[in-house]
Amino acid sequence: MDTVRAPLPESIHPALWRASQLACGRVSTVDTGYPVLSQELPGGGWPIGALTEILAQAPGSGEMRLLAPALGTLKAPVAFIEPPCEPCMHGLAYSGIHAEKILLLRARRSNDQLWSAEQILKAGTCGAVLLWQTQARADSLRRLLLAARSSTSLLFVFRPIREALDASPAELRVAVRPAGEGVNVDIIKRKGPKFEGDLTVTVQPGAALWSARGRPRRAVAPFGIEARATGDAFA
């Protein structure tokens, strides 16, 4: 008697996967630029049309250099929404993210920041949206998730590492801590088995991506004027 094999989950629907394996299906991703990290992520990279949370120990823990290789490959602009420090133009250019590709938006109120991110995602004009939030409600993150799913952009929401214990609708959650010449990465949530291990990524380049001195804030300012690199206060 022939044994009837159960169909593979991905053959039933691309959104299905076994709990013991990383999701693949029709996951569109951008390579992280770090093979040791890419192999631990569903689809082998940062997911497009999804919400990814970066939970940093502190601003400048190496989180920007972790994203830099992927952002540098994008042809569409990259939106920075209310970053905690002034981006260092020389450091970003050295990493492959040039001034003409970056849009810096400043908004004091969290609701305005979230609204800006949502509108950019809906417009589909940017290759990536980077949003910094110290406190974000679950319903606000769900709105961003829905907007991201209808887009072809990368979406990264930066939150304090203390938020790792809170539930989140994000498909991917990554905690980042500085570690010697690189960063220690803990994959808190992914589509697949629970991450168990110690993953250290040697990040490049070594140049600072944040300036230690902030410039006057503007409501909406594309990066058309170079900022001075003032040291490695943030990386």
CATH number of domain containing 55: 3.40.50.300
pLDDT of residue 73: 94
In a domain, 125, yes or no: yes
Residue 186 has pLDDT above 50, yes or no: yes
User: Is it the case that residue 139 has pLDDT exceeding 90?
Assistant: yes
Inside any domain, residue 84: yes
Cα–chain center distance at 228: 25
Report the pLDDT value the prediction gives residue 235, as an integer from 0 to 100.
37
| Residue 216 pLDDT level (bands cut at 50, 70, 90) | very low
Residue 154 lies in a domain: yes
Among residues of the chain, what percentage have pLDDT more than 90?
55
Answer whether 0.95 is exceeded by the pTM.
Answer: no
Domain count, the chain: 1
Residue 166 resides in a domain: yes
Look at residue 93 and tell me whether its pLDDT is greater than 50.
yes
Strands of 102-105's sheet in order across: 199-201, 182-189, 172-179, 50-56, 154-160, 128-132, 78-81, 102-105, 220-222
Report the range of poorest mean pLDDT among 107-111, 119-123, 174-178, 195-199.
195-199
Average pLDDT, integer, range 184-207: 86
- Given a contact cutoff of 8 angstroms between Cβ atoms, the answer to whether 116 and 81 are in contact is yes
Residue 212: pLDDT above 70? no
> Is pLDDT at 96 greater than 80 in this prediction?
yes
The domain of 148 spans: 25-212
